[in-house]
Amino acid sequence: MSRETWRDALAAYASPATLALLLLGFAAGLPAVLVFSTLSVWLREAGVSRETIGFASWISLAYAFKWVWSPMLDQWRLPWIGALGRRRSWLVLSQALIAIGLVGMALCNPQYNLTMLIALAVVVAFSSATQDIAIDAYRLEIAEDKLQATLAASYMTGYRIAMLLASAGALFLAEWLGSSSLDYNQAAWTTTYLAFALLILPGLITSLVIREPDAAAPLPNEPSRYSFNHQLAAVGLLLVLLISIPAMINALIAQAWPRATLYALFILGSISPMGRALFVPVRHIFSQAKQRQRPARFDFAHQAVSVIVLIILMVSTTGMFQSYWG
């Protein structure tokens, strides 16, 4: 290999973008293990049954279904922190939620607060999957095509180092602090997860100091007629309405008349003139889609479906554990 080729390679790996992807990859690799294999060992040492630990592995479904809400990262501008830019704002939000979730997990004892621990692990998993989406988009937009292989290699290096540290490193630290399968020590696991929550900070600081990609400018579409809060409220009401209909039927069958009356009042309120006004964003987008025969972009109707699927996945995962443990 010529000297110029070596110099070009070294220059590519010494660029700020490559270092940023190394640190972002490190931040992405930590939670992926802490909510899966390392969590399984923790639960086993705490005396949780293998069957329950097997159910806990469903948390990793967040990574399999991240395609559901990935388009929202392109279309939704986050309030308050949106000034950071489309990519950086989602990175900062997801990394902050990961750190907060890991701190919450550290403060939970699975022998007494297993449901809360699993719920926080679900939050960490969904935030981690969202971070993966934002990092992939940032990597593709921050540099030209010929540097993508270098950036991908740097990202995977950080990712693999983090996975090794969050698996073998976390187990070694917990055992060194005094916890084992024969002598469970909650304080050891609390310290371990708090330490790894701190290790998210380099990635968070990186997201705050890196530049926003030029390609991440607003999409050339007409601005939405409805604000983020209005859209989010409409989605929430639509979700509650969809849940209320079968819940009302179930309450009627069980002769739980107060609950049935409450669900019926909500449904009647939703179809009243005032209730229908709250769903204007949904009706407006569906009418536009009908006129165009197909949606021109990932509009609110698709956002609604994505948010509903996302919430159902989170509620179903948490509800499964609640029903299992009574």
Q: Classify 187 as helix, strand or coil.
A: helix
What is the DSSP code string of 248-278?
Answer: HHHHHHTT-HHHHHHHHHHHHHHHSHHHHHH
CATH ID of 3-216, from 1.10.3720.10, 1.10.1040.10, 1.20.1250.20, 3.90.380.10? 1.20.1250.20
What is the reported pLDDT for 66? 84
How confident is the model over 246-279, as pLDDT tens digits?
A: 554 554 455 554 555 555 555 555 555 555 555 5
DSSP code at position 166: I
Whole-angstrom distance, CA of residue 108 vs CA of residue 42? 12
How confident is the model over 149-178, as pLDDT tens digits?
A: 888 889 999 999 999 999 999 999 999 999
CB-based contact 94:101 (threshold 8 Å): no
Lowest mean pLDDT among 76-85, 170-179, 218-227, 239-248: 218-227
Q: Which of 3-17, 43-57, 127-141, 240-254: highest mean pLDDT?
A: 127-141
What is the DSSP code string of 64-126?
Answer: HTTTTTTTHHHHPPPTTTGGG-HHHHHHHHHHHHHHHHHHHHHT--TTT-HHHHHHHHHHHHH
Asked if pLDDT for residue 300 goes beyond 60, the answer is no
What is the DSSP code string of 222-241?
Answer: PPPSS-HHHHHHHHHHHHHH
Lowest mean pLDDT among 11-25, 33-47, 235-249: 235-249
Mean pLDDT of 279-306: 48
- Side chain identity at residue 111, one-letter code: Q
Taking the domains of the chain in order of start, what are their residue ranges? Answer: 3-216, 228-324
How confident is the model over 92-116, as pLDDT tens digits?
A: 999 999 999 999 999 999 999 998 9
Residue 157: CB partners within 8 Å, gap ≥ 6?
22, 25
Higher pLDDT, 190 or 298: 190
- Side chain identity at residue 299, one-letter code: D
N-terminal to C-terminal alpha carbon distance within the chain: 65
Residue 287: CB partners within 8 Å, gap ≥ 6?
none
What is the reported pLDDT for 52? 86
Higher pLDDT, 204 or 289: 204
